[in-house]
Amino acid sequence: MGVASRYRGRLYLIEAVRTFAQGFFAISFVVAARSAGMSALLVGVLTTISVLIGIATTRYMEGAVSRHGPRVAFVGVGALMVATGSVMLLLPGEAGIALAALFGFLPPLGGQFVAAVIEGSLAQTPAAARTKVFARFGLLATVAGAAGSLFASFPALFGIGDGGAVSILTFLLIPLGVVIGVTGALVPRVNPLSGARPKAETPAASGGVDGSQKLINRLALLFTADASGSGVVTPTLILYWLHVHFHLSLPDLSLLYFGMDVLSALSFPLAERISRKVGLLNTAVFTHIPSSLLLVAVPFAPGAAIAATLLLARALLVEMDVPTRQSYIASIVPSSMRAQAASRTSMGKQAGRAIGPAIGGALLSSVGAVAPFLTGGVLKISYDLVLWRSFRQVEAAAAEE
């Protein structure tokens, strides 16, 4: 195994452990919040606080990684996981959850700055293999998240109640944080994927550095709109609604979340194959719109089975835009700006997720389930249409590699 392969392997492992933890933590967090008597609005507000702190952390890490290498981000997220688990164990209930939000690791975007750092590193992969690398990265991370969701149901198999299960799952954040920190400390400072790249590279479509900066800013703004739609109906609020409206138990939620993640994982290699035929941008947009329509249909479901079916169908489509969009962005900016593009667009996505949860929680609490699902779906479809109209003429550079 070469240096580049080992490097990618460590990056994959770090993100897999993080998403595994987020998978079971998303479910245990919902149950813990419900047990503490927290409303949907308060859950949304705390999620917003956590995401805002995540944005600030991403911005800080952009500079820190450029100076000290990616290991500072990986060790940092490991420490945040340990702190989150420790606080919630020492202060069970609403106070512990509220304090944990200050570490920026609450689901669904806990430690998202790590994904941005890894994405910026993987973007240096040569163009011929880049989409496949991003698809593999997304596949592994999503499968790990699915495994985490399924793992959340294990305590119940041994007769452990919701309270004990939440304690066990929260405790696991501590050793998993240590694993990420130790693995991250072994990551080299210099990205070996950059060594094989040509020295001169300025994609014509971007118009040089200034043109690339404008493209990055436009994309970050668009991603804010898309993520706002996702944030209004964040997975945490969807699980909360299913838990309250259909009285689904922790094992039921765990199995549903697992199924959604498995189908999402399948979408990554499918997206890579589809993009070869219709292009990166077309794949990202025209698979995303149907997924949003399925999301809008969820609150109209007459029962839990139909609601779950709609969510599962959506899961097969909703992530197809991720590897294609990542690869497309890397192809229209110079290699020297790809890490910045990953960081800035990640901040745009996190900003949208910060705006959305409080709105979604308020709509769910005061208006009803239809309002957040409809609002989120409309925002996401609008984003897709504007993205396609704005960037359909901005093609990847033909002579990139």
Which domains does the chain carry? Answer: 3-391 (1.20.1250.20)
Q: Is 214 left (phi over 0), alpha (psi -120 to 50) or beta?
A: alpha
**pLDDT string in tens for the chain (401-residue length):** 577 888 999 999 999 999 999 989 988 888 888 888 888 778 878 888 888 898 899 889 988 988 888 999 999 999 999 999 999 999 988 899 999 999 988 887 888 899 999 999 999 888 888 999 999 998 999 889 888 988 988 898 888 988 899 999 999 999 999 999 999 999 988 888 765 444 444 444 445 566 788 888 889 889 888 888 887 887 777 877 888 888 888 788 888 888 887 898 889 999 999 999 999 999 999 999 999 999 999 999 999 999 999 999 999 998 899 999 999 998 888 888 888 898 989 888 888 777 777 787 778 777 877 888 899 899 999 999 999 998 887 765 433 44
**What was the pLDDT predicted at 90?**
93
**What was the pLDDT predicted at 367?**
81
Find out whether 55 and 353 touch, Cβ atoms under 8 Å. no
Q: Which two tokens stand for residue 211?
A: 């043109």
**What was the pLDDT predicted at 241?**
83
**What was the pLDDT predicted at 209?**
63
d(CA 57, CA 63): 10
- The phi, psi pair for 361, rounded to 5°, reads -65, -40
Mark out the alpha helices in 152-279 (DSSP H runs).
Answer: 154-157, 162-185, 208-232, 235-245, 250-278
Single pTM value for the model:
0.78
Tell me the HSE value of 65 on the side-chain side, using a 13 A CA sphere.
Answer: 29
d(CA 14, CA 113): 12
* CA distances for 116 relative to 4, 132, 158, 397, angstroms: 19, 18, 38, 23
d(CA 158, CA 173): 20
Tell me the HSE value of 147 on the side-chain side, using a 13 A CA sphere.
Answer: 12
**What was the pLDDT predicted at 184?**
94
d(CA 322, CA 52): 22
Report which residue type is found at 125.
T
